[in-house]
Structure 1
């Protein structure tokens, strides 16, 4: 069984392996409360996962170490296991879904692991890892449903209570549930008044649905930019611990996650992956009751593919009203583009691209479409532009 003694043991075992990440105050995330960030994206390997992986491997017998270890992961657990195993000259084989970010695949190899790419998602990689365990005799290092792994993640809970004794609430990402299980257990045993909130992506709410129905549920599909928490089914241990120690589980959309990633970049100069930003998204969009409280958002990881990052930033700019696409139906005559541009310029927006289409089956013979991409300050400015164009007699057909 998971115990506080085991979490303290993990904390002692990890003291020379991991970074004790500081708390960072983030007043602009939600001005109605005191937000702090626990930046595990700055952890060794760029994720909290190294905590659980290193502690689990430290507990293996010499015989188990000699045979090697196998793991499955969306990327972050893979790097933690690879680093922990290679530091002790243990062979590691990591099964990753073939859609895992290239950056995570290459980082796993650099840490010394052998990578086995599996078609599908995390759960398909999990099945393959179990097959290799049974065929080759490797020790399977579960990414979340293992008490040693959970204890390793629970060391974050101990750190939070030491770093912020006046803590009122902590917001934690949930995939399979290993992180929140350890954090919630440690906090509730030592400071039961502190609220523990879990956050999942709308496209992968396996724990939320399981808790809601009182039994473990398996999702048919998962789809989210937060690949690190795209898990179809929670674990037995984590489901039980979440039932007992987690106060509430909420969800956030991909657009909200993108906005949180953008806010972390601009306001805190921190790079978070999708899974790492869900706690911040929950705080930004008031998904949980935290007004007037001292709150920690756990930024669980920062291993985001740079190609995905550029698209995520674009989504975040749109969601926050920092960019806007607009299609206007016009009469095809001289001066129309100049007049539209003048209205936009007078209101302080910046046009970055223009597409003028004359021929269309959906317009009048003398009609045309004008498609604009603009840099804007916020949604209020977008509304002002729309209103000004409408007053001037222009018809906006898409935005």
Structure 2
């Protein structure tokens, strides 16, 4: 695949997709030691980059194939992209999604006009069901990442980045099955080979490192991850070939870094992203200052997040950033004991947001009470100093 293939896809997408903006981030620039510019595909139609590849693939179907309809599988973003593209092109669409797919993604996919069936606990299981349906019904399978048209459509992001940030030095790309990073790498190999491309996977769903070591797509067991959009057990043959041939670097990031990245983009950039969409930012947070040549462009690949998941991820991010502390403290069950505990926390400069007493814990003596506290702190260092201050004042503290 070449940059010319991607330019042809860009012509197909002209007037269909949104040319998403880039936003400079002072906060990330200070952390990275280089200019950081966010590519905001979270503001794309249907909330992610996926509509680029979906529309490219569907628009190239023959009339006979369109009549047969299409079938797809997705955790949510590809589902919405296929549903939106199918609706624009007048094609009947059936989408398989995992049983625990986020409700907003389910309702949005149905809202775009697709039929949704829920099956399995992962994208890979949903994809197996979609393949069976394609064989049974004759529908055309629209793979989420393993097709040249899909890769070409996703690669159009790189063309926009080169126009918007012409001196770009590094692009950080969320990586699941590989369609997005492969499309970007294909463009840059021809148009700007000096630009460094780094794919970033969730450590708990990272199929590419082992596959690259093996020299072929290799299945990996998935652990639960908040980044459901990039939780893919096996790389696609088409994107894997491009990633391997172009020597794309792949890194992994922890759940803590994913949540911190999401929180930073939300709080400092005023941009809503899903955990998978924050993977590139998480990769930047994991790197040493100056490690990546600037300008650095993390791709915010999607912004479709369940509000309930957002609440949990934000809290996780606050804990990871040292700005939220949960404590279990034993105190004597006598007047003034709780006041002394509160005074110590106040003197340490922390803010109590929730207090809960328990006198029924089996580990307590008759004269003790257990106090569960949720406390706001200012940094990891401040969090440590609050705990130390409590222990210095004689409190038995467990950090939960």
Same fold, judged at TM 0.5 (above):
yes
- Equivalent-residue separation in structure 2 for 1:67 and 1:229 (angstroms): 29
Tell me how far 1:75 sits from its aligned partner.
0.8
CA distance in 1, matches of 2:226, 2:394: 40
Shift of 1:292: 5.6
Please give the secondary structure, in 1, of the residue aligned with 2:189: helix
SS at match of 2:28: coil
| Aligned-partner SS, 2:353 | strand
User: Could you say if the C-alpha distance between residues 242 and 110 of structure 1 is closer, same or farther in structure 2, counting changes exceeding 3 Å?
Assistant: same
Aligned-partner Cα distance in 2 for 1:138–1:324: 52
C-alpha contact (below 8 Å) 1:30/1:283 kept by paired residues: no
Q: Structure 2, unaligned stretches of length 5 or more?
A: none
1:201 correspondence with 2:202: yes
1:347 match: 348
Question: C-alpha displacement at 1:289, in angstroms?
Answer: 6.2
CA RMSD of aligned residues (A): 1.6
Contact 1:226–1:274 (CA<8 Å) still a contact in 2?
yes
Q: After TM superposition, which residue ranges in structure 1, 4 or more long, deviate above 3 angstroms?
A: 287-292, 358-361
Q: CA deviation at 1:360?
A: 3.8
Q: Alignment partner of 1:303: what SS?
A: coil
Q: Which moved more, 1:362-371 or 1:283-292?
A: 283-292
**CA distance in 2 between partners of 1:289 and 1:129 (Å):** 44
In structure 2, C-alpha distance between the alignment counterparts of 1:188 and 1:287, rounded to whole Å: 26
User: Post-superposition shift, 1:214?
Assistant: 2.3
Distance 2:293 2:65 in 1: 50
In the other structure, the counterpart of 2:314 is: 313
Displacement of 1:375: 1.4
1:164 and 2:189 matched: no
Q: Which residue of 2 aligns with 1:173?
A: 174
TM-score, scaled to structure 2: 0.95
CA displacement, residues 250-273 of structure 1 (integer Å, 9 cap, x when unaligned)? 111122111111111111111111
Q: Which deviates more from structure 2 when the two are superposed, residues 173-182 or residues 95-104?
A: 95-104
Q: Deviations over 1:174-226 (max 9, x none)?
A: 11000000011101211111110010011100112211332221023342111
* Partner SS state of residue 330, structure 1: strand
SS at match of 1:125: helix
Name 2:336's counterpart in structure 1.
335
Shift of 1:30: 4.6
* 8 Å Cα contact 1:184/1:246 also seen in 2: no
Q: Is the 8 A contact 1:33 1:290 kept in 2?
A: no
User: Quick one: distance in 2 between partners of 1:288 and 1:208?
Assistant: 24
Q: Is the 8 A contact 1:197 1:246 kept in 2?
A: no
Tell whether 2:216 aligns with 1:215: yes
Distance in structure 2 (CA, Å) of the matches to 1:125 and 1:26: 37
Q: Shift in Å at residue 307 of structure 1?
A: 1.2
Task: Name 2:43's counterpart in structure 1.
Answer: 42
The answer to whether the 8 A contact 1:30-1:284 is kept is no
Deviation at 1:348, TM superposition (A): 2.3
Structure 1 residue aligned with 2:142: 141
Q: Which moved more, 1:225-234 or 1:215-224?
A: 215-224
For these two proteins, the number of residue pairs brought into alignment is: 398
Q: Distance in 1 between matches of 2:290 and 2:283?
A: 10
Inter-partner Cα distance in structure 2 for 1:33 and 1:86:
42
- Alpha-carbon distance in 2 for matches of 1:73, 1:292: 34
Q: Which runs of 5+ in 1 are unaligned?
A: none
